[in-house]
Chain A
Amino acid sequence: MENTLSNSTDKVFLYEVIGAQFDTIGSKALAVKKMLHDYFPKSDYLRRLGVCVFEAEANLAIHTVHGGSIEVMVFSDRVRITAKDDGPGMKDMKKALTPGFSTAPETARQLGFGGGVGLNNIKRFADYFYIESSKKGTTLVFEVWNDDDPTTH
């Protein structure tokens, strides 16, 4: 898929996610969804985007040592999300992208997370998906495109 942006933007928002803190998972996704409502009022689009950010946030909270950041870039026709952390990274990318495979701790599973479907949910709903990972950290970039008229609900 071509990775080009059709419009420039100066609307960039940054959210910090704390590592190994499971009870606040989803709070940044909610903040992002509420913030974007002014730009994209269509509920279907916001749900799709919200789910992707939710999953990215859960991964940062569950699988990193120091947490990470979620950068939100708003364009007129899309939103680009970049989630970054400083490790420990994914040992096996292929397995990490396999539905059902998870290295999440039991404490995260008890809270309803760590089922091994997060990255796949993002891949499924995003229109552009890129991920790279090493011991130094993981960078996940995805875009959700607003195909429809943003003024309609």
Chain B
Amino acid sequence: MKIDEICEITNAEILQPIGRRDVDIRYAFAADLMSDTLFIIMRDDEPLLLITGVTNTSVVRTAIILDIPAIMIVRGKQVPEQTLELAKENEILVLRSSNIMFVTCGLLYKAGLEGSPWKIR
């Protein structure tokens, strides 16, 4: 699923547009705990969208560590400038939806985005 389509489905805006705008997202993972996000390390190499309410720079660092190309901030939260700056430096796309996490996930799942595969190693 393309970034523009994800934005349309979730009524999201692109806060940080520098990055892989043409990426075809297949999976999504939603969490507010970064260690839980780090749990998905064994996913396939398919591009993944991280859906979260966390807006500080750690969410960008988590995305970089996991090679995640795009982050969706939910609940319309204000994103600090330094978070966007770090995302820009590392070409991580940052999107923002005014929907709550549950609704954001539901809309994307209904539209065909799959949950991130994971397994206990």
Assembled-state Cα–Cα distance A43/B45 (Å):
9
> Cβ of A112 and Cβ of B65 under 8 Å apart?
no
On whether the beta carbons of B58 and A26 are closer than 8 Å, the reply is yes
Interface residues of B toward A: which range?
A: 20 to 34
Which residues 110-129 of A have a CB within 8 angstroms of B?
Answer: 111-113, 115, 117-118, 121, 124-125
A98 within 8 A of B: no
Residue of B36, B41, B120 contacting most chain A CB atoms (<10 Å): B41
One digit per residue, 1 when the CB lies within 8 angstroms of any chain B CB and 0 when it does not, for chain A 78-115 equals: 00000000000000000000000000000000011101
Confirm or deny: B61 has a beta carbon within 8 angstroms of a beta carbon on chain A. Answer: yes
- Residue A143 CB within 8 A of the other chain: no
* Chain A residues closer than 8 Å to B57, beta-carbon distance: 23-24, 26
Whether a CB of chain B sits under 8 angstroms from the CB of A29 is: yes
The secondary-structure label for the interface of chain B is: helix
The interface bits of chain B over 43-57 (1 if a CB of A lies within 8 angstroms of the residue's CB, else 0) are: 001000000101011
B36 engages A115 (CB within 8 Å): yes
How far does the alpha carbon of A134 sit from the alpha carbon of B39 in the complex, in Å? 28
B13-21, B27-35, B71-79, B94-102 - the one binding chain A: B27-35
Given the known A-B contacts A23-B57, A111-B56, A125-B121, are A30 and B41 also in contact in the complex, defined by CB atoms under 8 Å?
A: no
Binding site for A on B (CB under 8 A): 32-36, 38-39, 41, 45, 52, 54, 56-59, 61-62, 64-67, 120-121
Would you list 7 pairs from A and B whose C-beta atoms are within 8 A, ordered by A residue?
A26-B62, A47-B65, A55-B35, A55-B38, A112-B59, A112-B62, A117-B35
